[in-house]
Chain A
């Protein structure tokens, strides 16, 4: 994997501005698989130099700039940290936008499976069955994890953005389901 962005940045030739892409911003290679610790470290280092707290005693324009930069760095970090957001962002950079809402054409078997999941969550929630919800949560996370592994292959080895976009659309369903599960578990706690 090339590490060009990092060296380019340090050579100081590449102009660095608020529109610099998130991977370059953190000096990370543009890939789906990334080292979380490295991202975390780059994030903290960057915030340490742009955060508004560093410019609290500076003049107005420096303070405004610090807020813009710090905002941008936060956005970049949140995007790269979460695998779904990172995948969508990679597609966006490759001009293969997922077309979030318009393209909902999914194979029937996938949709039926999703429907079944959803019913099961609703049932367990109605019954206040925390144990069952937790069990489903584990299963879903395992499934997510293996799907993201496959996505890593599509992005980083095969550069198959069309197929990747299709997988990402499915992952959006599953992540939504996981969020619903979290909410159901929270409701049971209360």
Chain B
């Protein structure tokens, strides 16, 4: 792989190449991958010209697997080993799965994130999702002709920490560097806003296969600001299918079904739902393995009747999000419809009635999320120039809390806080010589621990032994731009950084991920070592470019010796990248990172000063006459 030439000191860096980055919509029913080509966001089709990849994975006895249409075609024949809608299982325990008795899978009885027993062994939802992501990665790499710098992967805005972390872990298993986890409605807003030059407050109503999101955003020139978000991470088009399925069972008076028959009737139910988007009546006919014949007609009226409560369930979070944003229906300039399930006429009607306006449907509801993600990926990869970019301010969907005495929750980070965000809290010991402290973090809005989702138990170790109450441990809860929580702790008296051991309630430990990574490499066709080396080279190239452009822009912040140390690091990395030793490459990267640490801090400082210098003094000094007591009124 050719690396860029290192510019001589003082010489300006050559305009950097277009970095290959993609946006991935990892959906419950279907997934897509998109990229920006010649300034235009496009969905990348498979070799048969199909944009969608059904989110279906089938495991085979030899340990291999197939994802997409091929797997989908076999789901009625091999339902136990063909996993559909795996997104519903991400970061979830077995007790969280609704209608699991109707599902054909064999679940592993274990605490934590659920697992499925397949003919190829026990699989975690993270591994299954990774197969979908891997398929999309390969599609993108063959379409774009190179290794990807990274991907923006979308998640439902209402996904909690465990579900987000599971998605990020799946990307890791699939060999995809994650530039950002992006909320699906936000991705849609980016695509819609940029395409239409929209300004004002918009609502994004996103009803996908298995999740529902509502986000309220303020769109202004170059700024996308999420004001509030809400939703239901277990409500989607699948539930409409399920209602039809139950109606079939009842109407045809069927005896208990085999798993194959159940899977087939669920497919018929979905087809009927789709048919009703364009017709008044849908015929449903099937011959079961028992020889029984199903022959029914589902009318639009009946369909509306049996799904009325589902629609009402989407409007509750809508009202809550509006309230959280401090807005009313009258403030909403437009309602962007996202997700295949919004094609249903009764959804369109219900949303139109609620917002008292026609919903906006001028973007393909199935592609808009992937397209927005591709635009954001292009931005994050650094393919856009300053002034031709935008700022995205997103929020955390659910409050983070801490278990306190009596099973109560103390809120640490309230929902709808703009991310990244952090809160610090002080704790003390209650026993003499106590050296460890346990914290239980939950996510949700309720007051009792039992009513919220357990995220993780953190154990702080290495607290200096002191008398009870003397240690002062400052625990910082940091939520990053992906909406993921990290916890760090420090004893204030001694300044000792205490170790934090994380036990995720519904997540995977680092060891488990490492084991899965090893396991997955045993079955993939591409050479794992070559792949790892290639990924490290891309990473090295990214770093070299980042440092070079930093030197070109702000090299004057460095003393001569500092600069020469960085130049030496660059050269070392450049040479390591030309070699075949991945280990050496990683060490060279670490060395360069260490040399640029102080430089990064100075650059950040300058960048902030520039933000001020952009405004003139009279502007800053002015409008004090406007001064009021803020928004208290």
Contact = CB atoms under 8 A, between A and B. Distances in A.
Interface in A135-188: 141, 144-145, 148-149, 151-152, 182, 185-186
Given A16-B605, A35-B627, A53-B380, A145 B418 contact: no
Given A1-B624, A57-B546, A70-B420, A9 B612 contact: yes
A53 B546 contact: no
Interface stretch (B272-280, B428-436, B493-501, B615-623): B615-623
B629 A52 contact: no
Contact of A12 (B393, B609, B631): B609
A127 B421 CA distance: 39
B422 interface: yes
Contact of B420 (A48, A56, A71): A71
Contact of A59 (B543, B605, B612, B630): B543
B607 interface: yes
A3 B629 contact: no
Q: Counting chain B CB atoms within 10 Å of each CB, which of A53, A84, A186 scores highest? A: A53
A17 B605 contact: yes
A36 B543 CA distance: 40
A12 B195 CA distance: 40
Interface stretch (B133-141, B509-517, B595-603): B595-603
Contacts of A91: none
Contacts of B604: 50, 62, 65-66, 69
Interface in A1-16: 1, 3, 6-7, 9-10, 12, 16
A190 interface: yes
A27 B612 contact: yes
Given A1-B624, A35-B626, A44-B391, A49 B607 contact: yes
Interface in A49-86: 49-53, 56-62, 65-67, 69-71, 74-75, 77-78, 81-84, 86
A185 B609 CA distance: 44
Contact of B615 (A45, A58, A78, A190): A45
Contact of A71 (B380, B422, B546, B550): B422
B624 A52 contact: no
Contacts of B194: none
Contact of B316 (A53, A84, A149, A190): A190
Contacts of A65: 600-601, 604
Contacts, number: 174
Nearest to A41: B615
A3 B278 CA distance: 64
Nearest to A72: B422
A49 B613 CA distance: 12
A83 B481 contact: no
Contacts of B150: 56-57
Contact of B596 (A51, A59, A69, A81): A59
Interface residues of A, number: 64
Q: Counting chain A CB atoms within 10 Å of each CB, which of B480, B545, B597, B611 scores highest? A: B611
Contact of A74 (B149, B418, B550, B605): B418
B19 interface: yes
B608 interface: yes
Contact of B630 (A7, A9, A148): A148
B180 interface: yes
A55 to B, nearest CB: 9
A45 B420 contact: no
B525 interface: no
A9 B621 CA distance: 13
A130 interface: no
A151 B629 contact: yes
A149 to B, nearest CB: 6
Given A16-B608, A70-B481, A74-B418, 9 more contacts: A33-B627, A34-B630, A37-B623, A56-B150, A56-B180, A61-B593, A70-B420, A148-B632, A151-B629
6 contacts: A17-B605, A32-B629, A34-B630, A57-B149, A70-B420, A148-B633
Interface of B: 19, 149-150, 179-180, 222-223, 316, 319-320, 323, 379-382, 391-393, 417-422, 478, 480-481, 542-543, 545-547, 550, 592-593, 596-597, 600-601, 603-605, 607-615, 617, 620-621, 623-624, 626-633
